[in-house]
Structure 1
Amino acid sequence: MIIDITGPDVPLHFQVTTPEPARPVATAPAAGDTPPDYDYYMPRLGTKYRKKLGLTAQQVEWLDKFWPPQNVFIAIKGCCLATMRLYLQVLPALETALQSTGASLAQVVSAAQQEALRGRRAAPNPYGHSWNDYDERYLQEQIEATIYSTIFRRCENVVREAYGNKRKLAAEFSGMDAALAAELEKQLGPPLDALLPGLVTSIHAPDEATELALNLQNVTRWKQQLDQLAEALSPSTSAAFVAGVNQLGQRNARNPALENIFFEASKLVAKYDREHALRFYVQYVYHDLNSVTINSKPLAKTIQKSLFPQPDQLQRFEALVSQLVQDKDLAQALAQVPAVYARQRRKIELDLGAIRAVQHQHAGTVELLNEYLQDEPEPAVAPVPNPVAVPAVSETQPDEEIQLTVAAPAPAPAVPTTTTSGAFAAAWGLSATQQALLARFGEQALMLPQAEVEAFARQHGALRNQLIDSINEQCYEQLDDVLIEEDGDTYTIYASYYQQLATPC
């Protein structure tokens, strides 16, 4: 009651009605969507996507039962479409499941509406007047919308799980009497729980735009996907792992945690592919430099030891990383990674002045020796050539080996290309497995296919790369070079190096 003080004391009677809920603010539709009716309100999902998805009248009605959800997951168009498709698959299946019990979804909704009306009529109106038809119609619409929106939310939770989003929505029948909510859960909960898991395989995989948006929302989403790639990682699948990590990096291009993907991938693939492990670490350094916080995390010492069996390899890689930090040229750094493991040839430089000096110093001795040899009565003895023969010096590349022919009083035995003895000097410190593999090299002309080395390593409980690296590391200090070289699909050993193995150091 309100008293008007501007005139006679006459009470003014008025009626308070339940306000209509606020309508969502209209926004511009996406290309291909149904434009909203700006004179009234933004369309619901069925009306909005009727033409784009080719929906039937029944499907439009199902989607228009409730107002579109407002959350960051459904705001991504690909996630919204995936949830809608699952929802439209579940409802016919749910209808079939209910009919097997002698009911239908429409009957369940109608029964819930009638129960809500009975409870409403029994309760006093807080506004002091009786419930009218408008109030009851609004209540019925609210109950129906709650039932269908709850089913939609449960579909959304399944899509969230499939898309790697661990944050779930509350999907209970809320906004009604507790007893009514419990009855709805009893009728609809079990069939929904039985149907939804079987429809997971029908959910479309997210497209690239959806992947980018999801990874930006959840900056740790990549961990689950990297774990899945790591589960299938093996020597034969390392190429697939590398391709998967590169794709994962592209899909997280806007993720502030991008550098961590490459750091973890570098550790995982280190024991299977050294070059790709270095490439991933180079990408980690690059993206770390461009992040808000520079961490500069080093690889563990055990991983470094497996990646760099020779000290000079580690030095070359450290120089590569230092150059990347200075110029931030990722493409150039990645292109230089193979050079870390490239064989460094020792250069031979000839001092022509010293050679001529030796020739001049021993010229008389050579002439006298030639005279003695010419007076030798036995014709079978061949004359001894000049002890120091100066080869023709031509311009060569720095890495080419220059062959010197040095005569001696007795010709040196030719270096054998193979050996089957398997006996190696103890000073090299080779294990029985290492010696057995080297003996097999000797039996096969110092060349073995990678597949044969792989089989040998498995027989002896070792990994191929670790076995080769351990031999090279054991012999490097005395050879000052790599003993076993990888050449395409084979491993080879220089004959001169192999001969030294049987020579006491």
Structure 2
Amino acid sequence: MDAHNGVVDVTGEAVKIDYQANIRSLRRYGSGIPYWEARYIYSYNELQTATAQQDAFYQYFKKQFQVKDYLDLEGNYNYAFILLFDLLENYKLHTNTRLLEQSIFELAANYPKTKAYALSALSLVLEEQQDWAAIDRIRDFQLHLSTDRSLKLGNRFRKKLMLNDYDVELLNKIWYPDNSFCEIEFCLRETVKLFLLVTEAIDRKYLKEGATTEVEFNTLADLITHKQLGTGINNYNYKYTMLSAIGDIYTFLFKNVENAVRQAYGHARKLNTDVNYNDEEIDALYKEKVVDKLGGILPVWISRIEAPDEQANIKLNALNTTRWRSAFQSICEKHAGNAPAFYQAVLELARLNSQNPSVEMIYFEASKSIAKADKLTALDLFVNYVFTDMQSAVFDNRQMNKTVQKSLFATDEQFNDFRDIINKLIASKDLQAALTTVRTIYLPKRKKMILNQEAISQINERHAGTVELLNKYLADEEPEPPMPVPVTASTAPHQADIVLPLQSNTLQTSIYEASLGLSATQVAVLNMFKKSNFTLAAAEVDAFAKANSVFKNHLTDSINEICYELLDDVLIEEDEEHYIINQQYYNNILAK
């Protein structure tokens, strides 16, 4: 009989470890996963703090796990960590290490965030049993885990880059780069190519010094291994700690190479490459044998990478919502004074940002930029902005500022005509019709008059004699020029402050700079940051976004877009499972 309704069936038989069999496709749970705010789980008893709904789902999740039906937890990893401790509690009853090993491998493979904790806990159990063969299998299992769940890095690129055996083996030492940047095939490929160039250059540098990379890195790895294991060293843990240290060294190199590629491709977020073993001897040797060698090589070889292709640019723009700004600045400089070329370049830039949740900002900024130089192009771009904004998750409905309005509309009639075009666009969603109509804004307006022919005939008959006499007098005189009419405040055409009458969700009063035009939802989440010392868990932001019917990424990206012009940097940064605001930046967006 098993504990907690039995996570694994206890048969007492040894289980053969099949690494690929551990990995399955996650099944989406149709009824929706009960949200469970992320926090540290220290024991199986944490389940007692769950709601009835969360507990019921966990029991179902565990039951399906037993039959190898793995559910997609949609980020609710508390369930997976509860299951980890459930597995360990079961082991105390059945004491079958092979069954525990199999279940832990299945958990780590299908729910990667548990991997480090799960394999560490399993290692402790196996060390107590002195089951060194099983500890060997843990290391093998770790090497088999990869992001695409089938290949290691070297194996994946063997044919694509025509790699030799040495390069394949070298790449296979690296922990697979599991991040959104390397999920872009082009970016990963260029990083791999640059990594191989850099390691070859390091090899040559060591050879000139009468040494080899292998010997120097092994020396460093040996020091790390002895420092970490201390007096508890034996053949088994030395071997695998040493291999792990070597893998970490090459992974450090790969991360630095990846950061260089990220910077070259305008990808804002960088990987953490700090080296700190809390040991002066290790840190000094690491700097001497790895960091200093890399520093003189990487800047030389970065120029060898290829520029991103179209698909890579589209995906990079989706990950970096403000990446378009540098390209837009180049467009402004290149096409100054050439409105048609400017317009086409902006359309192309928007196309490359088709997956960017803030794509509408390209049209908005472009409209402002060209307003003084070409009114029609500015109106066309603003129409594109409104249409694209309507397609987004939240209709931001940004307004033209008064300076732009006054440069575009000389009369109230022109403004009213444009307002009507925008309102019709919102109602019909017919972009082409709006672009066609906007071309008529500045055309002269002629009033259609209907003459009463009968009345004209009667007047002609009544004044026929007078007209004939006047014609005789006027025939010999030069016409006098009309008297000029001075323009005064009473005779000048009046233009009111122009505000497009679109629905707006902007707060009327706020502690933040009014010109930012932050919405109520945006203000609310900023207030949450302030109350939480400017750091919020990703799960908190996600819950807030869901409660306000917006997407989490769109919410944070929209705030960053709004504040970018003022700060010249992003306000909200993502750091693993948290969102962070720089307090100085926050102070800069407060109302003065």
Fold conserved (TM > 0.5)? yes
Residues 310-331 of structure 1, C-alpha deviations (whole Å, 9 max, x = no match): 3322121111111111111112
What's the counterpart of residue 253 of structure 1?
Answer: 354
What's the counterpart of residue 152 of structure 2?
Answer: 44
**Aligned in 2, Cα 1:309/1:366: closer, same or farther, shift over 3 Å?**
closer
Cα distance in 2 for partners of 1:48, 1:28 equals: 11
Are residues 1:333 and 2:434 paired? yes
Shift of 1:365: 5.7
Cα distance in 1 for partners of 2:465, 2:483 equals: 42
Cα distance in 2 for partners of 1:46, 1:414 equals: 93
Cα distance in 2 for partners of 1:330, 1:139 equals: 62
Cα distance in 1 for partners of 2:257, 2:378 equals: 40
What's the counterpart of residue 110 of structure 1?
Answer: 218
Instruction: State the identity %.
Output: 31
Cα distance in 1 for partners of 2:483, 2:195 equals: 75
What's the counterpart of residue 15 of structure 1?
Answer: 130
1:212/1:251 contact within 8 Å kept: yes
**Aligned in 2, Cα 1:176/1:358: closer, same or farther, shift over 3 Å?**
same
Q: Which residue identity does 2:257 align to in structure 1?
A: C
Query: Normalized per residue, which structure has more helix?
Result: 2
Cα distance in 2 for partners of 1:240, 1:137 equals: 63
**Aligned in 2, Cα 1:309/1:94: closer, same or farther, shift over 3 Å?**
farther
* Correspondence for 1:205 among 307, 314, 319: 307
What's the counterpart of residue 147 of structure 1?
Answer: 249
**Aligned in 2, Cα 1:191/1:413: closer, same or farther, shift over 3 Å?**
farther
Shift of 1:282: 1.1
2:147/2:177 contact within 8 Å kept: no
Cα distance in 1 for partners of 2:225, 2:419 equals: 76
Extract unaligned runs of 5+ from structure 1.
1-12, 30-40, 370-383, 388-406, 416-423, 431-474, 479-505
2:157/2:163 contact within 8 Å kept: yes
**Aligned in 2, Cα 1:180/1:284: closer, same or farther, shift over 3 Å?**
same
What's the counterpart of residue 353 of structure 1?
Answer: 454
**TM-score normalised by L of structure 1:** 0.62
Shift of 1:427: 5.4
- Secondary structure of residue in 2 paired with 1:253: coil
What's the counterpart of residue 84 of structure 1?
Answer: 192
**Aligned in 2, Cα 1:302/1:162: closer, same or farther, shift over 3 Å?**
same
Shift of 1:364: 5.1
Are residues 1:163 and 2:245 paired? no
**Aligned in 2, Cα 1:230/1:110: closer, same or farther, shift over 3 Å?**
same
2:191/2:258 contact within 8 Å kept: yes
1:146/1:173 contact within 8 Å kept: no
Q: Which residue identity does 2:298 align to in structure 1?
A: L
Cα distance in 1 for partners of 2:153, 2:277 equals: 22
1:46/1:64 contact within 8 Å kept: yes
Q: Which residue identity does 1:244 align to in structure 2?
A: A
Shift of 1:183: 1.1
What's the counterpart of residue 316 of structure 1?
Answer: 417
Cα distance in 2 for partners of 1:201, 1:124 equals: 47
- Secondary structure of residue in 1 paired with 2:254: helix
What's the counterpart of residue 180 of structure 1?
Answer: 282
Cα distance in 1 for partners of 2:209, 2:389 equals: 60
**Aligned in 2, Cα 1:343/1:71: closer, same or farther, shift over 3 Å?**
same
Q: Which residue identity does 1:23 align to in structure 2?
A: Q
Q: Which stretch of the first structure deviates more once superposed, 213-222 or 175-184?
A: 175-184
Shift of 1:138: 2.1
**Aligned in 2, Cα 1:223/1:140: closer, same or farther, shift over 3 Å?**
same
Q: Which residue identity does 1:242 align to in structure 2?
A: Y
Count of matched residue positions in the alignment of Structure 1 and Structure 2: 362
1:24/1:42 contact within 8 Å kept: no
Q: Which residue identity does 1:359 align to in structure 2?
A: N
**Aligned in 2, Cα 1:271/1:118: closer, same or farther, shift over 3 Å?**
same
* Correspondence for 2:168 among 48, 53, 60: 60
What's the counterpart of residue 234 of structure 2?
Answer: 131
What's the counterpart of residue 475 of structure 2?
Answer: 409
Shift of 1:92: 2.0
Cα distance in 1 for partners of 2:228, 2:417 equals: 80
What's the counterpart of residue 191 of structure 1?
Answer: 293
Are residues 1:217 and 2:324 paired? no
- Secondary structure of residue in 1 paired with 2:380: helix
Tell me the C-alpha RMSD between the 2 structures: 3.7
1:143/1:176 contact within 8 Å kept: no
Are residues 1:304 and 2:405 paired? yes
Give 1:369-384 correspondences, 5 Å limit: none
- Secondary structure of residue in 1 paired with 2:306: coil
Residues 212-269 of structure 1, C-alpha deviations (whole Å, 9 max, x = no match): 3233333333344434444556324x44443332222222223332222222221122
**TM-score normalised by L of structure 2:** 0.54
Shift of 1:150: 0.8
Cα distance in 2 for partners of 1:427, 1:100 equals: 90
Residues 87-124 of structure 1, C-alpha deviations (whole Å, 9 max, x = no match): 12212222333344443322321322443455467x22
1:262/1:281 contact within 8 Å kept: yes
Shift of 1:51: 1.0
**Aligned in 2, Cα 1:61/1:305: closer, same or farther, shift over 3 Å?**
same
Cα distance in 2 for partners of 1:59, 1:428 equals: 85
1:146/1:175 contact within 8 Å kept: no
What's the counterpart of residue 284 of structure 1?
Answer: 385
**Aligned in 2, Cα 1:250/1:50: closer, same or farther, shift over 3 Å?**
same
1:116/1:176 contact within 8 Å kept: no
Cα distance in 1 for partners of 2:291, 2:257 equals: 12
What's the counterpart of residue 516 of structure 2?
Answer: none
1:219/1:257 contact within 8 Å kept: yes
Q: Which residue identity does 2:202 align to in structure 1?
A: L
1:49/1:55 contact within 8 Å kept: yes
1:320/1:336 contact within 8 Å kept: yes
Cα distance in 1 for partners of 2:315, 2:486 equals: 58
Cα distance in 1 for partners of 2:458, 2:366 equals: 60
Q: Which residue identity does 2:435 align to in structure 1?
A: L
- Secondary structure of residue in 2 paired with 1:339: coil
2:268/2:320 contact within 8 Å kept: no
Shift of 1:304: 0.5
**Aligned in 2, Cα 1:117/1:321: closer, same or farther, shift over 3 Å?**
closer
Cα distance in 1 for partners of 2:333, 2:435 equals: 26
Shift of 1:301: 0.9
Cα distance in 2 for partners of 1:27, 1:331 equals: 48
**Aligned in 2, Cα 1:364/1:206: closer, same or farther, shift over 3 Å?**
same
What's the counterpart of residue 32 of structure 1?
Answer: none
- Secondary structure of residue in 2 paired with 1:23: helix
Extract unaligned runs of 5+ from structure 2.
1-127, 495-592
- Secondary structure of residue in 2 paired with 1:185: helix
Shift of 1:351: 3.7
Bigger Rg, structure 1 or 2: 1
Shift of 1:277: 1.3
Cα distance in 2 for partners of 1:228, 1:279 equals: 20
What's the counterpart of residue 454 of structure 1?
Answer: none
Residues 403-438 of structure 1, C-alpha deviations (whole Å, 9 max, x = no match): xxxx953476699xxxxxxxx9885679xxxxxxxx
Shift of 1:178: 5.1
Cα distance in 2 for partners of 1:239, 1:340 equals: 18
* Correspondence for 2:203 among 68, 76, 95: 95
Cα distance in 1 for partners of 2:247, 2:341 equals: 47
